[in-house]
Structure 1
Amino acid sequence: MKRLDPAKTRAEEVMTPGVVYCRTDETIEDAVHLMDQRKIRRLPVLDGKKRLVGMLSLEDVAHGTSLQIVGEMTRAVSNHHK
């Protein structure tokens, strides 16, 4: 693996391309399924004008939803890190 100098390397050189996001009016279940499909832990949340209004994390889901959804997210994360 090539080691880049963080003082000289631009974010675009190491970022994952493509932005995956959900909208404020989507259900948590839909957001969780998207996170599972894309194997991501954080999901930007956009409003109707496509403005960033927040970030949905696995921790947010765990604290605010049912055990079924939390279990689904736990499986998704553990499968991603095997």
Structure 2
Amino acid sequence: MSSITVRNIPDEVHRAIRVRAATHGRSTEAEVRSILEQAAKPEGRLKLGTMLASIAREAGGLTDEELALFENARDKTPAEPMRFE
């Protein structure tokens, strides 16, 4: 997992996060992780796969034959890792 160092947080903000963490029964660090996750991945966000599935449903979906065409055309070979040589 990655880590981030945040400097120069105002005392009032740090204090408010500590209070919020105590209210939720977790450490300040866990509270900051929760805040960042909620900000980066909000509950109501539209996910690409969900949107594409919705479009396909509205268009009538795929027949079994169309699905077979996609499956046959799909490249199933594993991707090669990048090389920086």
TM-score (norm 2): 0.24
Whichever of the two has the greater Rg, that structure is 2
Task: Using CA pairs under 8 Å that are at least 6 residues apart, name the structure with larger relative contact order, 1 or 2.
Answer: 1
* Larger helix percent: 2
